[in-house]
Amino acid sequence: MTETEMLLKGYGLTTAEMFYRMPDHPHVLNTFVWQDYDRAPDHDRLLRFIDFWKEEIEGPLHSVRYTHRTLVAPGAWRHVVGEFPVH
């Protein structure tokens, strides 16, 4: 599916900031930012990535902060009937 098709089917941009502990220094927190197109309220792709992190990455997650924005909404498209030239 192309990005445009995903947007028209209700997907929006999900951004997650993951706070995790360094494996060698457990008292140090580090961050990782992840972005992908996902559907609210289920956030299947985000949850799949968190599961991947837990299984494959050595640094244990401390917390995850995320936001979701639908980029195309029903009122976002409008028909333009005029044009103003700017010189």
For residue 86, being part of any structural domain is answered with: no
The DSSP bridge pattern shows strands 61-69 and 12-21 to be antiparallel
For residue 78, being part of any structural domain is answered with: no
The answer to whether 22 and 31 have CB atoms below 8 angstroms apart is no
pTM: 0.76
For residue 84, being part of any structural domain is answered with: no
For residue 53, being part of any structural domain is answered with: yes
Instruction: Express each pLDDT in 8-57 by its tens digit.
Output: 888 999 999 999 999 999 999 999 999 999 998 899 999 999 999 999 99
For residue 51, being part of any structural domain is answered with: yes
Q: Which helix (H) or strand (E) holds 8?
A: helix 3-8
Q: Which residues pair with 33 in a beta bridge?
A: 17
- Tell me the residue range of the domain where 15 lies: 3-73
The total of structural domains in the chain comes to 1
Q: Which helix (H) or strand (E) holds 85?
A: none
